[in-house]
Amino acid sequence: MARPKPPTFDKRKTVAENRRARFDYAVEEKFEAGIALQGTEVKSLRSGEATIAESYAEVRDGEAWLINANIPEYTHGNRLNHEPKRPRKLLLHEREIEKLLGAVERKGMTLVPLSMYFNGQGRAKVELALAKGRQTKDKRDYIKDRDWQRDKARILRDRG
């Protein structure tokens, strides 16, 4: 009997989150991608040390890469420790990579990592977003709408 597939985006332990990305970009679509890591990178991630605030993803030669993500060296590592800001290969299906490449080239969109986490099976994953950059006016509208939603919820809670 076949084993049932786990639900997608079942985050167990979030290691790093890019909270600024949802403000700076209008997220169109999300993808879950695996990361090709070296040995000490996994140990460093499990201790919760990573930043993806200034990182991005790009497609080169038919492969997706996570650029500028900082996973600091493992403190108890030896001379075989990893380089903290090296480009890391993202593991996606070929069809997903083609879809991302087409959107980036044609529509002028950006690949932004939203979070890095370990899923239920203990595999390191990145939640990647296909997003469009917001202008200053769009950001102001976003803030206004968010504040109105918060005030509306508060009014409804107080009255009912």
> Distance from first CA to last CA of the chain, Å, rounded?
51
Residue 23 in contact with residue 139, Cβ under 8 Å? yes
Question: What is the C-alpha separation between 10 and 98, in angstroms, rounded?
Answer: 25
Question: Which of 5-19, 44-58, 120-134 is predicted with the least confidence, judged by mean pLDDT?
Answer: 5-19
- pLDDT, tens only, 9-23: 556 788 999 988 888
What pLDDT is recorded for position 31?
A: 93
Predicted structure pTM score: 0.79
> What is the dotted CATH code of the domain comprising 11-133?
2.40.280.10
What pLDDT is recorded for position 84?
A: 87
Any idea where the domains of the chain sit in the sequence?
11-133
Average pLDDT for the chain: 88
Question: What is the C-alpha separation between 139 and 155, in angstroms, rounded?
Answer: 24
What pLDDT is recorded for position 138?
A: 84
Nearest to 114 by CA among 36, 19, 49: 19
